[in-house]
């Protein structure tokens, strides 16, 4: 459980970093917005 929580924290930190970079990047380089379900903290899909 703790490992999964830690992985989720890292995942969220990476998303936050990407969003901050996107805010400063030209729109053409900005990544697609995240699905609202991910932003809301819904259960994450498991990586293969």
In angstroms, the Cα distances linking 18 to 2, 3, 6, 32 are 24, 23, 18, 11
Three-state secondary structure readout of the chain: CHHHHHHHHHHHHHHHHHHHHHHHCCHHHCCCCCCHHHHCCCCCCCCC
* pLDDT for position 42: 54
Counting Cα atoms < 13 Å in the Cβ hemisphere of 7 gives 9
* pLDDT for position 8: 82
* pLDDT for position 47: 63
pLDDT tens for 1-48 read 688 888 888 888 888 888 887 776 665 555 666 665 555 555 656 666
Domain residue limits, the chain: 2-39
* pLDDT for position 20: 80
């Amino acid at each position: 459980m703790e490992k999964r929580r830690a992985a989720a924290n890292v995942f969220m930190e990476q998303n936050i970093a990407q969003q901050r970079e996107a805010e400063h990047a030209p729109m053409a380089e900005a990544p697609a917005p995240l699905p609202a379900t991910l932003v809301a903290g819904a259960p994450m899909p498991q990586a293969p």
